[in-house]
Structure 1
Amino acid sequence: MNFIKDLDGGFSVIENLKVSGAREGKYGVTIIVSPNSTASAVFTSNKVVAAPVKYTKNVLKKGIISAVFVNSGNANCFTGQQGIKDCETLVNLVSKDLKIPSDEIAISSTGVIGREMPIDIISKVAYESLSKLGNGPENSLAAARAIMTTDTFPKECAVEVTLTSGEKVRIAGITKGSGMIAPNMGTMLSFIVTDALIPSDDINKALKKSADISFNMIVVDGDESTNDTCLMMANGASGVEVVRDGELDSNFQEALNYLCIDLAKKMARDGEGATKFIEANVYGAKSLEDARLASKSIISSSLFKSAVFGGDPNWGRIVSAIGYSGCDLNPDIVTIAIADDEDEVDLVKDGEILAFEDTPYLKRAEKIMQSKNVIVNIDMHLGEGQATAWGCDLTYDYVKINAEYTT
């Protein structure tokens, strides 16, 4: 896609945008300021919904966001009416400091569930973050760092896209997430800003399309969070409209897809305790939905994820995961292959087993399974449906990290 250009600097590539991040111990606060931006978001499908998700859903009814407050270290979930009051307190803090209407400020949180917000500490860190607002690459990196919990590295991405009209706009985003990542967006916070002009309804449509093939296609541990938020703002700083005659520019949608997939893969790669990255590609499924079911089932399988950690090309766990995924499957015609960045080998070809013990196929597969990037390619030979999902291996360290995560 030569109409998409990767950019360095994260949020710093967007005009009329200031961001910041600050931390004190396990508590962090990120502030994003993008005045009078049209906005929309997708949220968790968990039936237990955190206070900031409820609050921000209400704010978004207006369709305009000028600032976002994000804290890490406390999820502000299962905290009752006090949780909503704490959202109001923090939003009012930002509103007063930046002179922005409180009904144009979104809020998001990540951290431990079931504990009241340590409002004094969070407020202190918030003021520090507000004092550091800027538009440099260091500000973007600080913003990405401040929302981290068990993440091991900050995650940001920025692109410039040449539209079908020849005009150029930019999109940038940050995200956090390394545990409790499951289909339908799991413990992930993602914030995206573009300098394009887009109505909020069109942002919503575009973001949902991108989320379906990115954030909704990653699995780390199968647990789904109460706080998932992917919020996108368009501040129009470029002056370029990307919706013409009611249609979103196709190049813009592709660029948004590209950015969201990049951020999603970074989350999957940073799964708690992960040592290997897994990509599952399903082709020839009876439908798109079947392809998604099969690919997500493979990377959700604890048995297969454990096999990847151990370097074992146990394809039986792959076919088993496909079998219980709910998709249509004919085992007599399926092809299963394992690959890395340098080699690919068929384990099962058109239903025929190739990787018996002591065969060259199995030996090559065993070597591939030692790689840091393990790719599973499945051809169902049933139709045109295809999908890709991403995940990571399941390790001793995953158990250790979550055994020690405070309750």
Structure 2
Amino acid sequence: MSATQHQIEGVITQGVTLARGFRAAGVSAGISALEGKKDVALVVNDGPLKNAAAVFTTNRFAAAPVLWSQQVVGDGRVDAVLLNSGGANACTGAPGFQDTHTSAEHVADLLNISAGDVLVCSTGLIGQRLPLDNLLAGSEQAARALGVSPSDSLAAAEAIMTTDTVPKQAAICVEVEQGGDYLIGGMAKGAGMLAPGLATMLVVLTTDAVLSPEDLDTALRQAVRLSFNRADADGCMSTNDTVVLMGSGASGLVPDLVGFTEALTKVCQDLALQLIGDAEGASHDIHVRTFNAATEEEAEEVSRAVSRSNLFKTAIFGNDPNWGRILSEVGTTSADFDPENVNVLINGVQVCTGGGIGQDRKLVDLAADRKVTVEIDLAAGEHEATIWTNDLTHDYVHENSAYSS
């Protein structure tokens, strides 16, 4: 059935098992340094379609599982995704790539599928080999534990956590006018090294809509552009970022691609905001919106410049609405604007008017709420873009200075 009309319902707190045709599991295999922590997850597409698309980090030191998975998804088919926390398997050379290959073959044997259809994702410390025996044993446990319940979905989301403090899941139901619905679900991990290309993240997205690999790819790239690539916690890019979208076709509904992309973007944005909300050591979630820009690209450039300023981020941590630090970053960009026409608002208070002094900055209360909204009016056009970031705290410095010890 072709679904041309749709109604997008609110985001649901369940992940990859909400969509029909998918099973998941998360188990403890002793890979993580935290005793008893779940550290191996498995997500399986039971079809009838096994279509997929994925995007990966642009870091030139891409990890072994990224190099493997880029090959796997090349034909638009993924039957299963094996994920682990507790080790990134990055910068491990040919032996690390062989470990990834071996783990994919092991999952393929367990599920009676082809190793060339098994995506592999790893997250954790760079520069160490994974304990392969643990990973293989964990994949066996996960294969036996596969299920479709919310608890199975949650277990998988918990297994991919590293410095995350909470699991991250989202899903959505799209009702079609002709009757019936299709579903999109997802899980994500990430709390630091969040920057475009994609973030230190692993994301698995599932849908039971009927879509070709090409349409899945089109929708995914647009959704990622407006979600994960707008999350910029600390300007650092990981070696392991992977976002995969699998389509089972189990709903029997062929969605309007525009409507599907809108729904997928909503799920991805919800997950991206969860990543920012759990950023390492953060005490404020900051939305930097640049509007009335000449182009969307220029609006994004301005918002990103501000979001990456350590001076700005530390000011927000100190509850100091220092708008001068915002304006000085805007001035470093190539965006088209007249400095005498730029306005800046912090939590709705116009602290800068026409590039100069606006309302009293003391009217801005940054201590009352975790969320901070910065709005930059360039008065140069009709476009806008928002970057999501967070403040820079003592806890962030402490957590990352002791990460590998």
TM-score range with shorter-chain normalisation?
Answer: over 0.9
Residue 16 of structure 1: which of 21, 24, 28 is its match? 21
After superposition, the C-alpha distances for 1:341-367 in whole angstroms (9 at most, x for unaligned) are xxx211012333124xxxxx32221x2
- Give SS of 1:206's match: helix
In 1, the alpha carbon distance for the partners of 2:11 and 2:286 equals 23
The gaps in structure 1 that reach 5 residues or longer are 356-360
Tell me the residue number matched to 1:326: 334
Tell me the residue number matched to 1:45: 58
Query: CA, structure 1 residues 39+2, in 2 after alignment: closer, same or farther (shift >3 Å)?
Result: closer
- The question of 1:354 aligning with 2:353 is answered no
- Give SS of 1:45's match: coil
- 1:206-225 aligned within 5 A: 206-225=219-238
% same residue? 38
Q: Name whichever of 308-317 and 126-135 sits farther off.
A: 126-135
TM-score normalised according to structure 1 size: 0.93
The gaps in structure 2 that reach 5 residues or longer are 1-5
- 1:204-353 aligned within 5 A: 204-242=217-255, 248=257, 250-339=258-347, 344-353=348-357
In 2, the alpha carbon distance for the partners of 1:186 and 1:12 equals 24
In 1, the alpha carbon distance for the partners of 2:134 and 2:143 equals 14
Tell me the residue number matched to 2:156: 143
- Give SS of 1:73's match: coil
TM-score normalised according to structure 2 size: 0.93
In 2, the alpha carbon distance for the partners of 1:47 and 1:164 equals 46
After superposition, the C-alpha distances for 1:161-219 in whole angstroms (9 at most, x for unaligned) are 13576652110000000111112212111110000011111111111111111100111
Give the RMSD, CA atoms, in angstroms. Answer: 1.6
Tell me the residue number matched to 1:401: 399
Q: Name whichever of 327-336 and 393-402 sits farther off.
A: 327-336
In 2, the alpha carbon distance for the partners of 1:161 and 1:64 equals 24
Matched letter for residue 31 of structure 1: L
- Give SS of 2:41's match: strand
- The question of 1:364 aligning with 2:363 is answered yes
- Give SS of 1:14's match: coil
In 2, the alpha carbon distance for the partners of 1:332 and 1:74 equals 51
- The question of 1:28 aligning with 2:26 is answered no
Tell me the residue number matched to 1:358: none
How many angstroms does 1:370 deviate by?
4.2
Tell me the residue number matched to 2:376: 378
In 2, the alpha carbon distance for the partners of 1:77 and 1:164 equals 47
In 2, the alpha carbon distance for the partners of 1:328 and 1:163 equals 43
Q: Which one has a larger percent strand, Structure 1 or Structure 2?
A: 1
Q: Name whichever of 1-10 and 27-36 sits farther off.
A: 1-10
How many angstroms does 1:88 deviate by?
1.2
- Give SS of 2:262's match: helix
Matched letter for residue 143 of structure 2: L
Query: CA, structure 1 residues 307+124, in 2 after alignment: closer, same or farther (shift >3 Å)?
Result: same
Q: Alignment length, in residue pairs? A: 392
Q: Name whichever of 97-106 and 22-31 sits farther off.
A: 22-31
Tell me the residue number matched to 1:4: 9
- 1:91-102 aligned within 5 A: 91-102=104-115
Q: Is the 8 A contact 2:316 2:366 kept in 1?
A: no
- The question of 1:192 aligning with 2:194 is answered no
In 2, the alpha carbon distance for the partners of 1:224 and 1:153 equals 21
